[in-house]
Amino acid sequence: MNYMKADHYQGHKGFLDELYGRDWDHLIDLNMNIIRYLAEVFAIDTPIVMSSSLECIKSENILSEPMYAGNGTTPGDPGKDAKYLKNYRATKRLIDICKELGADTYVSGIGGKEYMIEDMFADEGIKLEYLQFHHPVYRQCYPDFIPNLSSPDYIMNVAPLGAEI
């Protein structure tokens, strides 16, 4: 109801009707439906690969990773060691995915700085970049711009289906 007055509501109404009119058995099916639609709207043709289809994920054995992987923490401090191990495993997983897909660069949100072990990327020859998001200001259907809404807000107000963004 909130977007009925938006400039491009009618162009996206069919998708919304199908989305809300369907009984979804699995959240992943709903999410992938939305992701594919938004990729089409934004003309993104990057292949979508499910991590569950990757060999490095299928064969992953996190229990075989060392508890102390050169982290420089004092053995016996389970808080530091557990946190480092969690960060180590998360970083290793990302690196393994990059290697399997042939990526030479990994682009992370700024929140990745909180857990990724940056040197591990460099050691594997993978460049690590952080995305600095700068929110665009665009015309919304109501006065007083509200930032940080969602891609549906943007496409209803700015992007007709199939538009060059």
**pLDDT digit string, tens, across residues 2-39:** 889 899 999 999 999 999 999 999 999 999 999 999 99
Residue 106's beta-bridge partner residues? Answer: 128
pTM, entire model: 0.75
Q: What does the DSSP assignment read for 54-83?
A: SHHHHT--GGGS-S-SS--PPTT-HHHHHH
Residues 120, 79, 110: CA angle, nearest 5 degrees: 45
Average pLDDT value for residue range 41-62: 88
pLDDT of residue 164: 53
Q: Which of 54, 62, 124, 122 is nearest to 88 (CA)?
A: 62
Residue 163 corresponds to which tokens in the numbers above? 């538009």
CA distance 95 to 116: 10
pLDDT reading at 155 higher than 70: yes
Instruction: Write out the H or E segment, with its range, that includes residue 37.
Output: helix 27-41
pLDDT of residue 69: 47
pLDDT of residue 163: 56
